Structure 1
Amino acid sequence: MAVMRAFETDDYHPDYGILILADTNQAWDPNEDPQMPHHRDRGDMPTGAFAGSGAGWVAAQAPDLSDHTVRIELHDVPPAAERAHFDEILETPFRSSSGELTLTDLTGGYGEADLHLGDTEWFRVRVARRPADGDGYYWLIQFWPDPTRELPAWFARSSQMGDRTSGVASDIEALLRWTPQLPLETSVDDLAQRLLVSGTAVRKALAVAEKDGLLHIDGDDPLRLSLERKTDS
């Protein structure tokens, strides 16, 4: 197992504290059915408590005014997880359009490709972050082909991320965006285990998410969760 291709920079400075890795071409078939991930056309790139993904994008919380070091890798099979070396680790599906990725920001647009993924459409991506030796953060973002579209899952969550209700609510919504057939049947315990938060945090986040129109809850044993598309006010 080896790294097939890689890109690294030590002077990435994200606008508004958001890291964005984007497909250089967002040319999706408008007649495609079913549409996965759900709500991919809604125009934003939600990060949840730490990171999130969609069709042609990965976005993550990138605090600190200092430059960040970002390493992006393409693997042919899942790489070994360095869980002991990172404070935050999220794995999530990723859908590629052009096979090219650019590291950009909220105001930078789509530049030239920094990493070529090839012709594969479906990937798993692992987003990991830790404080750098000096200022800023070190990021390791790893892609490998994976057509199964397994739901997002946390493998490390620091106390800094904690059980913040708004972030956990967005994390739960991200699970629904990647669920092939809604509603998602789950439980508070299952969600807590997948998101690495407490059951209390899950219950609070579900209440906030439903109140804010992020999702709809039907029943409690099991929980049946579905998305409600936001409407313009």
Structure 2
Amino acid sequence: MKVFKGKPCVYIFTGHFGSGKSEVAINFAMNLKRTHPERKVAMIDLDIINPFFRSADAQAALEKEGILVEIPTCANSNVEGIALTGKMGALIDDTEYDVILDVGGDDLGARAVGYYCDRIARRDHIIFFVVNKNRPFTKDKESALKIFDEVESATRLKINGIINNTNVLEMTDAETVLAGLPLINEISEAKGIPVMFSAAGRHLCDELNKSIPEDELLPLDEYVKLLWDRRENH
């Protein structure tokens, strides 16, 4: 993907609840490692707010690809008292690593990034704002910009680009994804930052490539489970 930097970088994925940012962040990390196997890649789960969707669910799959995974204490359980680890800061500081951060779903979750903002600012970094047009808090320009501003304020860093992840879970089709682009472009124009890429289920990408260039489309495989699915599998 053209968004990948030529040298190690910190990639930060933010977005409101239901944006699908955890799935996007995981697949982004997988894609980065598969296309640049020589690079060291780490995934840090900073989603300390939402127990329903977490990148920690994909830990085994990520590690199988050679991606280092660091999660908060108790991140795989529905426990509110979650603590950040010292290794998270060390990875952010390590300029040999591409670091992908999956951040909590609103300004409260984004404060976890704010905790590390000075360290992040010392490195090349990109902050993405992931938008799902079909969620109530990002359904139109005004509501999406409100969340955007809250996340920027909480992280104390500037968002660099927008990701279109418009979906309705398993009912998503190519038209669903494309329907999100007008709103994404409105946010992009309002904030003066680019649309980085769209994300969609791998099975939709051939059809979507008729409208979206291949290097602006991230194919998604499903890794993140709902909380109730986790319980059924334990």
| Class of the TM-score when normalised by the shorter of the 2 chains | 0.3 to 0.5
- The alignment's TM-score, normalised by the length of structure 2, stands at 0.33
- The alignment's TM-score, normalised by the length of structure 1, stands at 0.33
Structure of greater relative contact order (alpha carbons < 8 Å, 6+ residues apart):
2
More helix by share: 2
More strand by share: 1
Structure number with greater Rg is 1
